[in-house]
Chain A
Amino acid sequence: MKRRVFIEKSILAYLGLLISPALMAACRKEDLLPDSTFSGKVIIIGAGAAGLYAGYILKSRGIDFTIIEASNRAGGRLDKKSDFADYPIDLGAQWLHGRDSILGDLAKSTGTNISKDNSDEVYWFNKKISSIIPKDVEAILSPTDNVTDISFLEYAEQQGLGSEYKYIVEQLAGDSGADASDLSIKWNAVEEEDWNSGDSDFKFEASFFDLIDKNITEEIKDSILLNTPITKINYSGNRVLMTDNLGKSYTGDKVIVTVPITILQDKDINFEPALPQSKIEAFNKIGMGAGMKVFLKFSSKFYNENIAGGEICAAYADEVVGKIGSDNVLLAFVMGRQAEHLTSLGSDEAITNALLAELDSMYAGQATSSFIDAHVEDWTTKPFIKGAYSYSKVGIGNARSIAAKPIDNKLFFAGEAMNLNGHHQTVHGAIETGYRAVINILTD
């Protein structure tokens, strides 16, 4: 072969090699599920964040699905009220806990205005409002590595926090949706190790509810069946048969159960065959306490932005922070036994009066004198919610992982309580489990 011919052929071969990687690249897909052969029907039980997002992903894949919701609205523990103040208030979830998550991406890409909650905090300590307290109570959030499985309250006592700190400790536990005597200091820390969304809290200029409602629920609203409590799930056959409270049946090839953990604990849904005992035990090891939000509207702003340590309510927060509006609304964020106590008072008026009395003691009677209106949102008495959000109860261990495990490749479990990567208790944690369930179904 002459040198020139060889060089020409070499150049041609080289150009060919240049093209081949491009062809190789074209064979690989950006889509995780390009070859999924699943063409059945998916039933999603519950139209909370996890269920809605699972439906949203299924719709984007062109897969047949129906969301069956027990209550008369979609959103689960997200809801809003627009006529209480001159800005909308979130009746359920209202803080975006960290911006570095799928919801941070959604907010960013949709141009949703959020702002970092930099509000100040004061303490109700020894019957006085104080901006500082003698001991660093928040240090208990970072326990030592060898801490045993004891409650927040017990650990706080071990750390020398006396009874004067009790309700400040309750406020910290309340952030995790629990009473301090139930929340595990060990497992709470273990589960939070995986937290990776960022430590700052953000508030929505409009509402958290709107972010999900306008961008997710709106896209799939035609596939949501409201006012349909499912009471029985029979997964013994090839297809799953579900029955509602009126005896009407629904069938699906795969079912994603996204109801709150309390619904599973209380056996409001009867599974046939019965769920494995290990799963039932796992459900019961996950905590979910009472939760209530009371919005108090005043004619003047006499209160601080955050008040921790109340005996009736351990956490108050100024609702106008991050909002465009001027109405003075103070949120009483009541968790655990404090919420149970307020619920036991029996009426919204009694609840409001109890809170006003506490605020009066803190601010020399200014609460009652400037009180205008109140809205009580008691999540514990809602029959399809029954509480606030899940927490790491003493003894929880790996219960979430057992609870979240699919059964027979037909039943899949989602919802904030089923989040295994540190994002339980949050809306983005619920959403992650929603798309996790869909990926598990479609990659089978």
Chain B
Amino acid sequence: MKTLITVVFLVFASSSYSQELRIGVGYSNLYSKQYDRLIQTYNVSRPFLQEKQPLLNTGIHSSLSYLFKSEKNLRSGIAIDYSLVNSKAENQNLDLTLSFNMFELGYLLQYNNEDKFGHFYSEFGIGAVLGILNKKQDNEAYLIDDKVIRSLQIGAAVSLNIGYVFELKDKLKVSPFIGFQYAPYFSEGQSERVINQTINLIDEEEQYSSFFKFDLGLRVYLPRKKREKKL
């Protein structure tokens, strides 16, 4: 991981001319079979709760990406993404919030053939993803014996984004996009403990699992002044 960060940083630092810096925000839709099953088990087992715990499904994401200059149709870049997917149920004396935080650091390749596709572009990304599942009861961190209990996942991610760039005035560009991400991950095996307060109750908790994420959002290309080369 350290090596990856160093390489990315060096690439970033050595080519800081005429690149494009983008920030993006949007909506995320998560599909995790593992979390779905655990939340469903939680709901089945607690008929005394009036409001069912929603699945970890919808959330927001933000990203910061940097595209390096290229004369070709294919450009490379790096991206940092953060997504947050929440599930909250408010019951009498028992409010429960589950939050799944995902951090991704990735490398991306953008294909943009203006002659054929105009301002449409597509991006393929690969990266490393870190997921943290948190739980709050009555707006307080979930503690067992005064220790915060959370579940960590670490894995890889591949993504595909498709967007369209609108050029506004003063070089400001915006781009609505849709993205699909698949992330197989290794789990430390605490998810069932966090969600359902059990361990391996129905089946042994999967150590290797994956999630699928659908993103929809808007990127803003930050206008950058071209640096004057000193004589």
Contacts and interface: CB of A to CB of B under 8 A. Distances in A.
A378 interface: no
Interface in B37-67: 37, 39-41, 43-49, 52-55, 57-58
B: interface residue count bin:
35 or more
Interface string A94-136: 0000101110111011110000000000000000000000000
Contacts of B46: 102, 105-106
Nearest to B54: A30
Contacts of B197: 100-102, 104-105, 196-197
A290 B54 CA distance: 45
A30 B47 contact: no
Contact of B93 (A10, A98, A109, A432): A109
B176 interface: yes
Given A102-B46, A198-B144, A30 B202 contact: no
B164 interface: yes
Nearest to A193: B199
A21 interface: yes
B216 interface: yes
Given A24-B214, A32-B44, A421 B37 contact: no
A196 B199 contact: yes
B216 to A, nearest CB: 6
A305 B31 CA distance: 52
B40 A14 contact: no
Given A30-B43, A30-B52, A432 B199 contact: no
A421 B48 CA distance: 23
A421 B45 contact: no
Given A18-B27, A198-B144, A31 B52 contact: yes
A21 B29 contact: yes
Contacts of B31: 28
A420 B192 CA distance: 14
Contact of B176 (A14, A31, A440): A14
Nearest to A110: B48
A57 B47 contact: yes
Interface in A409-444: 420-423, 432, 435-436, 438-440
Contacts of A436: 201-202
Given A17-B216, A25-B58, A30-B55, A421 B49 contact: no
Task: Sort chain A's interface into a size bin.
Answer: 35 or more
A109 B50 CA distance: 10
A28 to B, nearest CB: 6
A4 interface: no
A105 B216 contact: no
B16 interface: no
Nearest to B39: A30
Contacts of A24: 29, 214
Nearest to B43: A30
A198 B146 CA distance: 9
A357 B188 CA distance: 54
A432 B216 contact: no
A108 B142 CA distance: 14
B166 interface: yes
A25 B144 CA distance: 32
Contact of B200 (A109, A197, A421, A439): A421
A29 B44 CA distance: 12
A18 B26 CA distance: 10
Contacts of B69: none
B193 interface: yes
A283 interface: no
Interface string A11-33: 00010011001101100111111
B210 to A, nearest CB: 16
Interface in A286-309: none
A109 B144 contact: no
Given A7-B166, A108-B93, A194 B199 contact: yes
A200 interface: yes
A308 B154 CA distance: 47
Interface string B176-212: 1010000000000000010001111110000000000
A215 interface: yes
B44 A10 contact: no
Nearest to A195: B199
Given A14-B176, A31-B44, A421 B58 contact: no
A421 B198 contact: yes
The 9 tightest CB contacts between A and B, nearest first, are A32-B40, A60-B47, A21-B29, A435-B45, A30-B52, A109-B94, A421-B199, A32-B44, A194-B199
16 contacts: A7-B166, A18-B27, A25-B29, A25-B57, A28-B31, A56-B47, A100-B144, A102-B197, A106-B46, A109-B49, A109-B93, A110-B48, A196-B197, A215-B48, A432-B201, A440-B202
Interface of B: 27, 29, 31, 36-37, 39-41, 43-49, 52-55, 57-58, 91-94, 142, 144-145, 164, 166, 176, 178, 193, 197-202, 214, 216
Given A33-B40, A439-B41, 9 more contacts: A10-B176, A24-B214, A32-B40, A57-B44, A105-B49, A109-B94, A197-B144, A420-B201, A435-B44
